[in-house]
Structure 1
């Protein structure tokens, strides 16, 4: 399937909502459709030392799922050791996070041609980078449409609507959202999804049940709304 180059920023309604798992499933779906893909995790907190380099599991998963062959440092240029809020982890290491620096890393990587690029955030939409900037400012500076991953659990409607509203206030389009069924499911899952479909100003890309692999998750996703969108 032919496609013009599409680039998206992936965010979530909270931390631990499955952003990376869904990103990898979207990359897998694209590969299955014959598309070339690339993915970035410009900022990651929670790393281990591998071959003398601090690396993050999520960034490594993205690296494995994409079709491009990129060095780890390109995929995840800022890798912080502690699995805590990035600005706090950075302060513990004597570093200062800045949108301009992250933007430079991302824009440099995005010059590599691919049919689909995903830039995954860290945590939720308004994760602080420093006293004046958040990850939302990075997405805004990149001018990327946003894919929102919604963890289908108690409170998900409020979290999703607040995140969608914040994305709109940032001046960015919500390109689509994914209902990710993490943990035990409510007896009103269908009703929650129906409510979000009615209230969110973007197409539902898929309802992903608990899966053992990104290949299985990919079966529940559709790329058509993303590929048909205008940049």
Structure 2
């Protein structure tokens, strides 16, 4: 089994788009591919429990059937920062529970695609952030960069935070979330010059075009 963690420079930058595309690529290659979103915020109540739209999309793309509570151990109704959502729900997000769920998923799969929540340093509780999930699961990261004004700072700060924690950046995706972004090519070139990991793909709207150099 191997896995990847999909992180983003912010919320709403296309992590789910990239996670789905990775799942579909592995499924097409004949792999058993599971999806996991350890923490979600912004859910609707269903007979199976709280369901987040990102989770529903990942579940539909995966070919490993999982109980909702295993795929998404922490699901909160309101679309707010997870540590605040957890406080309002009267619980604390526990990384041991997330790791246990991941290990249970991993034994059923060839690949596990884990989608993060918000940006890499969004708090989970009083002492831990989403980055601590990556540390705990020991997964390489694919970083989704939301290409809009401010993306250089957001991306480079995220990469620096990863380096400080000893995380492995396997590659990154440039997602043009602002179609009217001025100097897109110059911004992309600036990121390529400053991020040592390879650019895996270019995304825009609901499509993703892979680069030729990705290792699968």
What TM bracket, shorter-length normalisation? over 0.9
Contact 1:30 1:223 in 2 (8 A): no
Instruction: Name the CA distance, whole Å, in 2 between partners of 1:224 and 1:99.
Output: 34
4+ residue runs over 2 A deviation: 29-36, 222-227
Equivalent position of 1:111 in the other structure: 107
Structure 1, gaps ≥5 residues long: 212-216
Q: 2:135 aligns with which of 135, 140, 147?
A: 140
Deviation at 1:36, TM superposition (A): 2.8
Aligned to 2:173, the other structure's residue is in SS state strand
Instruction: Name the CA distance, whole Å, in 2 between partners of 1:108 and 1:24.
Output: 21
TM-score (norm 2): 0.94
Equivalent position of 2:165 in the other structure: 170
Instruction: Name the CA distance, whole Å, in 1 between partners of 2:48 and 2:34.
Output: 24
TM-score (norm 1): 0.88
Equivalent position of 1:91 in the other structure: 87
Residue 160 (structure 1) aligned with residue 155 (structure 2): yes
Equivalent position of 2:189 in the other structure: 194
Q: 1:221 aligns with which of 193, 206, 210?
A: 210
Task: Please tell me the root mean square deviation across aligned C-alpha atoms, in Å.
Answer: 1.6
Equivalent position of 2:200 in the other structure: 205
Contact 1:147 1:176 in 2 (8 A): yes
